[in-house]
Structures are given as C-alpha cells and as structure tokens.
Amino acid sequence: MLIAQISDLHIQKGGKPAYGVVDTVSMLKRAVEALNALDPQPDVVLATGDLVERGSAEEYGILREILKPLKAPLLVVPGNHDARGTLAEAFPDSGKRVGASEFFHYAVDEFPVRLIGYDTTVPKHHHGEVCAARADWLDRTLAAGGDRPTVIFLHHPPFKTGIGHMDRSGLTNVPAMAAVVKKHPNVERIVCGHIHRAIQTRFAGTIASVAPSTAHQINLDLRQDGPAAMKMDPPGYQLHYWTPEAGLVTHTAAIGDYGEPFNFPW
C-alpha cells in the first residue's frame, strides 16, 4: 500500500498569494502534478490540515478546483486554519465519514493499513488539543480495529520540535494521547502537519512525523526565542510505503524541477 501525504496547503480567497508572498495556488497545482506523475500511484492521499487560510467556503471552493485533477482518492483532516464544519461540507468523502461527534474524526478500513483521521483543532485558536473526549474516542476507535497496522493522521504533532514559536502553539494534553497510543502497539505511525518541515521522533512506542508543506516551510531555527519566520525551502510531500514484510517506510520528496534521473555509470 502506498500512502501519499500532503500538508499545509494554505489556499487563500481569490487565489491570492498567502502573506502577499507565497503563491500557494500554483504550488498546490505543482504538487497535484507531482502526485499524478507517480508510478505506482498512491492508493490514497492524506491532507493533514491547514488546507486553506481562513476556513471560508470560497477558499474550499478554490481548493476543490485545484484538487479535482488528483487521480488518487483524498482524505482530509482540519488544521488550525480550517473550519471543520465548512470543511466537512466541501469534502464529503472525508466529511461523510465523520461520526456523530463534534469533531472531524473517522476511521477508514478499506485498505491493508487502517487509517484514522483525527481532529486536534480548537476553533479560532492556533494550538491543538487532545481533550478527554478525544482521547476516549481514539482509544475506542483503535480498540475496534483490533491489531491491524494503523496510521493516525492529524494536524498538530504530539511532540516538541525545538522550533520555539511553533512549539508554543502546539498540542496540549499530549500525555492523554500518549497513554492511549501506548496501549495499541499496532499504531505504525502518527503523521502530522503544522510545522511545515519533515521531522520525526519516537513517541509512545511508535513514530510520530511531520510532512513538509506543499507551499512555504517554517524556517529551521532552533533558538527558543527565534522569530516566527517562514522560508521558501523546497516544498514537498511524503510517501509512506507499506508492505507486510517491512512495515511502513517513509520517503520525503521535493516538489520542483531538479532535472531528469540519470543512470549509474556502470
């Protein structure tokens, strides 16, 4: 099974450049082209939040148009820039899966790897939260899947990255999530967004990771008092490749024209 992950698309109303600088629309179009050119094709594409900038229906309309040519099926979760209700209406393939809770949570059982979309957002706030109700939902949902290999995809990573200004708007009540995940050793990976960089760490007996943005990246600055800054490092996406023998192996790919592959000289 091949799972592609895109994150932090940050599409703006009117297709305007985000922050007056980043042409997120053109950059997402290039990401869609890159994904469509993959051989083999991904079985599914996960989009881990901050799909648009302000959560409006107009922005989601623009987003849907850009994503229309995508060949692989798409599953989304909200980020802090999204509005979960408007998102669910715009993406019924993900939205219709949302259970009868106030959150945008769902499980997908039709692939060899079970996928759990998990909503960490707090409306109108940058940080994320795992409240008691969400920790309980995750525990029940993981238990219902038995011991099948499982990937949880969400926006806010459950770990400190060392980038001070982002960590200060990170996930709260992480121990509640860690306690649940520790009970379920079949969780192969927790894949996230929000930090706009490829990052990974050990977490609660599994691996937690962040995918780069399809647009702008967060400046790699590990000073705790460093300014909140973005940078036009190469955009990218991740491919999580699963086989029963090797488990889940993650590749980070850059989006852009870096020339044609050339063969080894022997």
The binding track of 5-24 with respect to Fe ion, each residue x by CB under 5 A or -, is: ---x----------------
- Assess 236 for contact with Fe ion (CB under 5 A): no
- Assess 82 for contact with Fe ion (CB under 5 A): no
Q: Applying CB under 5 A, which part among 1-9, 102-110, 243-251, 255-263 lies near Fe ion? A: 1-9
- Assess 194 for contact with Fe ion (CB under 5 A): yes
Q: At what angle do helices 174-182 and 132-144 cross, to 10 degrees?
A: 20
CB of 119 to Fe ion, least distance (A): 13
Return the DSSP state at 102: S
Among 42, 55, 78, 79, binds Fe ion (CB under 5 A): 79
CA–CA distance, 129 with 177 (Å, rounded to integer): 10
CB of 155 to Fe ion, least distance (A): 6
**The dihedral sign for the CA sequence 98, 100, 105, 107:** negative
In the bound state with Fe ion, the residue whose beta carbon lies nearer, of 134 and 194, is 194
CB of 61 to Fe ion, least distance (A): 20
Considering only CA atoms, which of 43, 51, 97 is closest in space to residue 72? 43
- Assess 53 for contact with Fe ion (CB under 5 A): no
Contacts of 224 (CB under 8 A, 6+ apart): 164
Q: Give CA separation, 161 vs 23, 56, 164, 225, 230, in Å.
A: 26, 30, 8, 14, 15
| Binding interface with Fe ion (CB under 5 A) | 8, 50, 79-80, 194
